[in-house]
Chain A
Amino acid sequence: MSDARDAGYDDWLEAVEEGEPYYLECPEGHGSLPPRRVCPDCGATDLEETPLPAAGEIATFTITHVPTPSFADDAPYVVGVADFGPVRITGQVVGVDPTAVETGTAVELEVATSETTGDRVLALRPR
């Protein structure tokens, strides 16, 4: 894989690191995540960066024991999908005993680091 930045996505991760996560909102109020030029729900092309609610809620989760090689040293780890209102976001649930994660757990976004590759990993931390 190249070392080039992924415009939109990497910018978004940096916004999370700075504590200013956002989502893209179309005039109809549909939420989506970058990089994106068109609202996938209605086709609107004027998308606006809108602050993301600070807290999300775990909608579903899994404890992964058999990872891809990119996460070999991270396993077992928890992946969750959290509901932030206008968008849902998938991330690794950190800072908690894996067996203690539950649906409905309140979480906030942060950027963690893969133990395997040192790459940035989007994380969900219980509040």
Chain B
Amino acid sequence: MSDVRVAGVGLTEFGSSPERTGRDLFAEASIEAFEDAGVPREDVEALFYGNFMGELAEHQGHQGPLMAEAAGVHAPATRLESACASGGVAVREAVSRIRNGEHDVVLVGGAERMTNLGTGGATEALAIAADDLWEVRAGVTFPGAYALMAQAYFEEFGGEREDLAHVAVKNHENAVPNEKAQYRRAIEVDDVLEAPMVSAPLGLYDACPISDGAAAVVLTSEAYAAEHDLEAPVAITGSGQGGDRIALQDRTHLSQSPAAREAGAEAYADAGISAADVEVAEVHDCFTIAEVLALEALDLAPVGEGITAARDGLTTADGDLPVNLSGGLKAKGHPVGATGAAQVAELTALLRGDHPNSDHVDDATVGLTHNAGGTVASAVVHVLEVVA
């Protein structure tokens, strides 16, 4: 199967801008992506767009054509929704269409407007990614669901809040030089441990912020890139997706993410690599425990040992396997529908050498993105490689 080239990437600044519409955010990201790609808008044959809470935040359904219009693209446009993995499934759909020969140029991305809902409204909107009857009505919030997993992890494998705090400290540190990140502020372990509890054992600094933002990526076929002499050294060489029962109570594991394991295994096999080949990763750290579960599911750390990866320095910027050099969802921000595409944008820049943190991975040629929906009832993994 032919590779898919990442021709251009664009991101808005992630943060709090409650007055900005989703269409404005996506327009900005797409302008940057087209400028970066040097691909004319009229060559785009399809748009795949990730968004989760548009109906609640903006009273706006049918966002596919709206976003094509915002980006100045005349092409069939489809919104994909898989909770926080919406952007990831959009990328996967775009990759699939190019690989099967249907399209040569696809615009893919996502956006989310969240801060206009306020903390309560956003908490309520995020909660609907859980099972309404069996979780939300019992008072499960999103931080609450991950707290249930964190508590189960501690019970099964050990670990403590201080281990998780190191994940937050690391990702904040990585965000400092990233101009697109929401929290460009280093924090200490004590800041995390002393922050107000959200849902024990997770405190305020164990959680990603509520964010507004958008991401856009222009993907092309190998043939198109060659024909148009594009400077597109990074390719998506592997794609995988896994699924699980929506409610945590119905899972085989309360402290593992089998959907991410399936997605990772599929993506590794697709790219013809193994976990040991991964040199840099952007994983879905909506909560500190989520990064731990992701590392283990992707075989980047043994099950039960991911908890100390940040504390031991394995996943820090100068470690053997830097994880979330962008700042991750934790510090870069998590405008839900944009996240999966934003991970591809950040990793592309890291591998190309034009990311503020590229110096930490200057020899890296293989990277991975992991985007999760719900308490990982959906997971999408992509392998990116420098191929030219």
Residues of chain A contacted by B196 (CB below 8 angstroms): 65
A113 at interface by CB-CB < 8 Å? no
Residues of chain A contacted by B127 (CB below 8 angstroms): 68
Across the interface, do B135 and A9 meet the contact criterion of CB distance under 8 Å? no
Across the interface, do A103 and B155 meet the contact criterion of CB distance under 8 Å? yes
Across the interface, do B139 and A66 meet the contact criterion of CB distance under 8 Å? no
Q: Which of B13-21, B241-249, B277-285, B327-335 contacts A (4 or more CB under 8 A)?
A: B241-249
B189 at interface by CB-CB < 8 Å? no
Residues of chain B contacted by A114 (CB below 8 angstroms): 139
Residues of chain A contacted by B30 (CB below 8 angstroms): none
Across the interface, do B199 and A63 meet the contact criterion of CB distance under 8 Å? yes
Bound complex: CA A66 to CA B123 (Å): 9
Across the interface, do B124 and A65 meet the contact criterion of CB distance under 8 Å? no
Chain B: minimal CB distance from A53 (Å): 15
A66 contact from B135, B198, B254, Cβ within 8 A: B198
The interface bits of chain A over 109-127 (1 if a CB of B lies within 8 angstroms of the residue's CB, else 0) are: 0000010000101100000
Residues of chain B contacted by A32 (CB below 8 angstroms): 250
B133 contact from A9, A70, A79, Cβ within 8 A: A9
Bound complex: CA A90 to CA B248 (Å): 9
Across the interface, do B148 and A61 meet the contact criterion of CB distance under 8 Å? yes
| Given A40-B250, A68-B127: A62 and B138 interface contact (C-beta under 8 Å) | no
Residues of chain B contacted by A59 (CB below 8 angstroms): 152, 254
Interface residues of B (CB under 8 A from A): 119-121, 123-124, 127, 133-141, 143-144, 147-152, 155, 196-202, 245, 247-250, 254
The 10 closest A-B CB pairs, nearest first, are A62-B147, A60-B152, A88-B249, A68-B124, A63-B200, A64-B199, A69-B120, A66-B198, A64-B144, A60-B151
Interface residues of A (CB under 8 A from B): 6, 9, 32-33, 40, 59-72, 74, 77, 79, 81, 87-92, 103, 114, 119, 121-122
18 A-B pairs in the complex with CB atoms less than 8 angstroms apart: A9-B133, A40-B245, A60-B151, A61-B148, A62-B151, A63-B200, A65-B199, A66-B141, A68-B139, A69-B120, A69-B121, A72-B120, A79-B148, A81-B148, A81-B249, A81-B254, A90-B140, A122-B137
